[in-house]
Amino acid sequence: MSSENWVDSPRLHVHLLWLLDELEPHRSSISKILAEGVMADFFCYSCGASSKPPAIPLAVRDRSDLLGFRIEIDHYDTSGDQDGG
């Protein structure tokens, strides 16, 4: 499941909010699947001119935790890519 075609924002938490809004109505089904041993996460790709990944608001993390999803961020620092490589 991807927010790429549905969310037009450079802010990571906006994409996560969309995912949460889509999944929360199915909370009981998700709980059953997770109870069977399935692990779930939000795997996020991020790049920017900092070594620190984007901050995720606590309210978004709380909603994700309630669903049983971890938020994983694969962040790439582009500050050294001034010459394109």
Is the torsion defined by CA of 66, 58, 13, 6 positive or negative?
Answer: positive
Tokens of 44: 């996020």
User: pLDDT per residue over 23-64, tens digit each?
Assistant: 999 999 999 999 999 999 999 989 888 889 999 999 999 999
Q: What angle do CA 46, 71, 38 make, to 5 degrees?
A: 130
Q: Which residue has the higher pLDDT, 10 or 16?
A: 16
Taking the C-alpha atoms of residue 80 and residue 75, their distance in angstroms, rounded to an integer, is 14
CB 15 within 8 A of CB 7: yes
Domain residue limits, the chain: 12-77
